[in-house]
Amino acid sequence: MRRQWTESEKRILREIYPDSPTPHVVTILGRPERAVYHMATMLGIRKSDAYLASPAACRLRRGDNVGSASRFKKGQSAWNKGIHFDSGGRSAETRFRPGTVPPNHKPAGTTRISKDGYLEIKIAEGMYQWRLLHREIWKEAHGEYPARGTALIFKDGNKQNCNIANLEVLTRKELMLRNSVHNLPEEIKEVIRLNGVIRRKIHGK
Protein backbone atom coordinates (compact mmCIF):
# COMPACT_ATOMS: atom_id res chain seq x y z
CA MET A 1 0.00 0.00 0.00
CA ARG A 2 1.11 3.55 -0.61
CA ARG A 3 2.83 5.04 2.42
CA GLN A 4 2.06 8.67 3.11
CA TRP A 5 4.80 11.09 4.09
CA THR A 6 4.57 12.28 7.68
CA GLU A 7 5.39 15.82 8.78
CA SER A 8 8.34 14.43 10.74
CA GLU A 9 9.77 12.80 7.60
CA LYS A 10 9.34 16.00 5.62
CA ARG A 11 11.15 17.94 8.35
CA ILE A 12 14.07 15.47 8.29
CA LEU A 13 14.17 15.67 4.50
CA ARG A 14 14.39 19.49 4.64
CA GLU A 15 17.23 19.29 7.14
CA ILE A 16 19.49 16.64 5.58
CA TYR A 17 18.72 16.62 1.84
CA PRO A 18 20.57 19.84 0.82
CA ASP A 19 23.96 18.72 2.22
CA SER A 20 23.80 14.90 2.15
CA PRO A 21 24.24 12.28 -0.55
CA THR A 22 20.84 11.03 -1.63
CA PRO A 23 21.68 7.34 -0.82
CA HIS A 24 22.32 8.50 2.77
CA VAL A 25 18.91 10.23 2.85
CA VAL A 26 17.28 7.08 1.47
CA THR A 27 18.81 4.98 4.25
CA ILE A 28 17.68 7.33 7.01
CA LEU A 29 14.12 7.69 5.76
CA GLY A 30 13.69 4.13 4.49
CA ARG A 31 12.17 5.43 1.28
CA PRO A 32 12.89 4.51 -2.36
CA GLU A 33 15.25 6.90 -4.10
CA ARG A 34 12.59 7.98 -6.62
CA ALA A 35 10.23 8.81 -3.72
CA VAL A 36 12.90 10.97 -2.06
CA TYR A 37 13.60 12.87 -5.28
CA HIS A 38 9.87 13.33 -5.90
CA MET A 39 9.16 14.70 -2.42
CA ALA A 40 12.20 16.99 -2.56
CA THR A 41 10.85 18.42 -5.80
CA MET A 42 7.37 18.82 -4.30
CA LEU A 43 8.83 20.69 -1.31
CA GLY A 44 11.14 22.81 -3.45
CA ILE A 45 14.30 21.45 -1.80
CA ARG A 46 17.56 21.48 -3.76
CA LYS A 47 21.14 20.46 -3.09
CA SER A 48 23.18 23.31 -1.66
CA ASP A 49 25.96 25.01 -3.63
CA ALA A 50 28.51 23.76 -1.09
CA TYR A 51 27.39 20.17 -1.58
CA LEU A 52 27.40 20.48 -5.40
CA ALA A 53 30.99 21.75 -5.23
CA SER A 54 32.14 18.80 -3.13
CA PRO A 55 33.68 15.56 -4.52
CA ALA A 56 30.61 13.63 -3.31
CA ALA A 57 28.42 15.45 -5.82
CA CYS A 58 30.60 15.17 -8.91
CA ARG A 59 27.92 13.28 -10.84
CA LEU A 60 25.46 16.12 -10.22
CA ARG A 61 27.71 18.97 -11.32
CA ARG A 62 27.58 20.49 -14.75
CA GLY A 63 30.27 22.42 -16.59
CA ASP A 64 33.34 20.86 -14.91
CA ASN A 65 33.89 18.18 -17.60
CA VAL A 66 32.99 15.26 -15.41
CA GLY A 67 34.05 12.07 -17.21
CA SER A 68 36.18 13.90 -19.79
CA ALA A 69 39.07 11.49 -19.29
CA SER A 70 37.04 8.58 -20.62
CA ARG A 71 35.52 10.31 -23.65
CA PHE A 72 36.59 9.87 -27.26
CA LYS A 73 38.84 12.70 -28.40
CA LYS A 74 38.14 14.55 -31.64
CA GLY A 75 39.73 12.62 -34.50
CA GLN A 76 40.41 9.58 -32.35
CA SER A 77 40.04 6.26 -34.20
CA ALA A 78 38.27 3.24 -32.79
CA TRP A 79 40.57 0.48 -31.57
CA ASN A 80 39.16 -1.99 -34.11
CA LYS A 81 39.35 0.27 -37.16
CA GLY A 82 40.77 -1.62 -40.14
CA ILE A 83 40.69 -4.96 -38.32
CA HIS A 84 38.93 -7.67 -40.30
CA PHE A 85 36.32 -9.51 -38.28
CA ASP A 86 36.76 -13.26 -38.09
CA SER A 87 34.31 -15.12 -35.93
CA GLY A 88 36.09 -18.41 -36.49
CA GLY A 89 34.40 -21.73 -37.07
CA ARG A 90 32.20 -22.21 -40.15
CA SER A 91 30.53 -18.79 -40.05
CA ALA A 92 32.03 -17.71 -43.37
CA GLU A 93 30.64 -20.80 -45.11
CA THR A 94 27.04 -19.92 -44.24
CA ARG A 95 27.04 -16.21 -45.05
CA PHE A 96 25.17 -14.77 -48.04
CA ARG A 97 27.51 -13.72 -50.83
CA PRO A 98 27.06 -10.33 -52.56
CA GLY A 99 24.41 -10.69 -55.26
CA THR A 100 22.98 -13.88 -53.80
CA VAL A 101 19.35 -14.40 -54.85
CA PRO A 102 17.03 -15.93 -52.20
CA PRO A 103 15.53 -19.28 -53.17
CA ASN A 104 11.99 -17.85 -52.93
CA HIS A 105 12.73 -14.91 -55.24
CA LYS A 106 10.15 -14.32 -57.98
CA PRO A 107 11.18 -12.37 -61.11
CA ALA A 108 9.11 -9.55 -62.57
CA GLY A 109 6.26 -10.96 -64.64
CA THR A 110 5.52 -13.76 -62.18
CA THR A 111 1.86 -14.26 -61.29
CA ARG A 112 0.30 -15.58 -58.11
CA ILE A 113 -3.16 -16.00 -56.61
CA SER A 114 -4.04 -13.65 -53.74
CA LYS A 115 -5.88 -14.74 -50.62
CA ASP A 116 -9.04 -13.20 -52.17
CA GLY A 117 -8.74 -15.35 -55.29
CA TYR A 118 -7.46 -12.64 -57.67
CA LEU A 119 -4.46 -13.06 -59.95
CA GLU A 120 -1.56 -10.75 -59.10
CA ILE A 121 1.50 -9.95 -61.20
CA LYS A 122 4.92 -8.70 -60.13
CA ILE A 123 5.64 -5.59 -62.17
CA ALA A 124 9.16 -4.77 -60.88
CA GLU A 125 11.83 -5.79 -58.41
CA GLY A 126 11.57 -4.60 -54.83
CA MET A 127 8.96 -4.56 -52.11
CA TYR A 128 5.27 -3.83 -52.75
CA GLN A 129 5.55 -4.40 -56.50
CA TRP A 130 2.65 -6.84 -56.88
CA ARG A 131 -0.43 -5.56 -58.73
CA LEU A 132 -3.83 -7.01 -59.64
CA LEU A 133 -3.41 -8.58 -63.06
CA HIS A 134 -6.83 -7.62 -64.43
CA ARG A 135 -6.22 -3.95 -63.59
CA GLU A 136 -2.83 -4.04 -65.32
CA ILE A 137 -4.41 -5.63 -68.42
CA TRP A 138 -7.11 -2.93 -68.47
CA LYS A 139 -4.49 -0.19 -68.15
CA GLU A 140 -2.42 -1.69 -70.97
CA ALA A 141 -5.48 -1.79 -73.23
CA HIS A 142 -6.93 1.64 -72.34
CA GLY A 143 -3.89 3.60 -71.19
CA GLU A 144 -5.11 4.17 -67.64
CA TYR A 145 -6.77 2.48 -64.70
CA PRO A 146 -10.56 2.68 -64.32
CA ALA A 147 -11.72 6.03 -62.93
CA ARG A 148 -12.16 6.50 -59.21
CA GLY A 149 -15.65 5.55 -58.09
CA THR A 150 -16.01 2.75 -60.64
CA ALA A 151 -15.51 -0.99 -60.38
CA LEU A 152 -13.65 -3.27 -62.79
CA ILE A 153 -15.54 -6.56 -62.85
CA PHE A 154 -15.37 -9.95 -64.55
CA LYS A 155 -18.33 -10.56 -66.84
CA ASP A 156 -18.36 -14.30 -66.22
CA GLY A 157 -17.68 -13.94 -62.48
CA ASN A 158 -14.34 -15.77 -62.74
CA LYS A 159 -11.70 -13.68 -60.94
CA GLN A 160 -8.90 -15.47 -62.75
CA ASN A 161 -10.24 -14.93 -66.28
CA CYS A 162 -8.34 -11.73 -67.02
CA ASN A 163 -8.99 -11.66 -70.76
CA ILE A 164 -9.71 -8.06 -71.76
CA ALA A 165 -12.99 -9.20 -73.37
CA ASN A 166 -14.10 -10.48 -69.96
CA LEU A 167 -13.48 -7.18 -68.17
CA GLU A 168 -16.05 -4.44 -67.75
CA VAL A 169 -16.18 -1.14 -65.86
CA LEU A 170 -19.34 -0.31 -63.94
CA THR A 171 -20.32 2.58 -61.71
CA ARG A 172 -21.04 1.67 -58.12
CA LYS A 173 -24.74 2.18 -58.77
CA GLU A 174 -24.66 -0.14 -61.76
CA LEU A 175 -22.74 -2.70 -59.74
CA MET A 176 -25.35 -2.52 -56.99
CA LEU A 177 -28.15 -3.04 -59.51
CA ARG A 178 -26.23 -5.87 -61.15
CA ASN A 179 -25.87 -7.66 -57.85
CA SER A 180 -29.48 -7.08 -56.87
CA VAL A 181 -30.98 -8.57 -60.07
CA HIS A 182 -28.80 -11.66 -60.31
CA ASN A 183 -31.87 -13.89 -59.92
CA LEU A 184 -33.75 -12.30 -62.82
CA PRO A 185 -34.10 -14.06 -66.20
CA GLU A 186 -31.13 -13.79 -68.53
CA GLU A 187 -33.07 -11.60 -71.00
CA ILE A 188 -33.70 -8.93 -68.35
CA LYS A 189 -30.11 -9.13 -67.16
CA GLU A 190 -28.92 -8.46 -70.70
CA VAL A 191 -31.28 -5.49 -71.05
CA ILE A 192 -29.94 -3.99 -67.81
CA ARG A 193 -26.36 -4.51 -68.94
CA LEU A 194 -27.00 -2.93 -72.34
CA ASN A 195 -28.80 -0.03 -70.70
CA GLY A 196 -25.67 0.65 -68.66
CA VAL A 197 -23.53 0.51 -71.79
CA ILE A 198 -25.81 3.00 -73.58
CA ARG A 199 -25.79 5.38 -70.60
CA ARG A 200 -22.00 5.34 -70.46
CA LYS A 201 -21.83 6.07 -74.17
CA ILE A 202 -24.22 9.02 -73.79
CA HIS A 203 -22.28 10.40 -70.82
CA GLY A 204 -19.07 9.98 -72.78
CA LYS A 205 -20.45 12.11 -75.61
Domain ranges of the chain: 7-59, 111-204
Question: Predicted confidence band at 66 (pLDDT cuts at 50, 70, 90)?
Answer: low
Q: What is the pLDDT of residues 116-146, one digit of tens each?
A: 999 999 999 888 899 999 999 999 999 999 9
| Predicted local distance difference test score (pLDDT) of residue 185 | 80
Q: Round to whole Å and give the CA distance between 19 and 138.
A: 80
- In angstroms, rounded to a whole number, what is the distance separating the alpha carbons of residues 158 and 178? 16
Whether residue 137 contacts residue 167, with contact meaning beta carbons closer than 8 Å, is answered with: yes
Tens digits of residue pLDDT in 88-103: 777 777 878 888 888 8
To the nearest 10 degrees (0 to 180), the angle between helices 172-180 and 186-204 is 170
What architecture does CATH give domain 111-204? Answer: Alpha-Beta Complex (3.90)
Q: In the Cβ-directed half-sphere of 161, how many Cα atoms lie within 13 Å?
A: 10
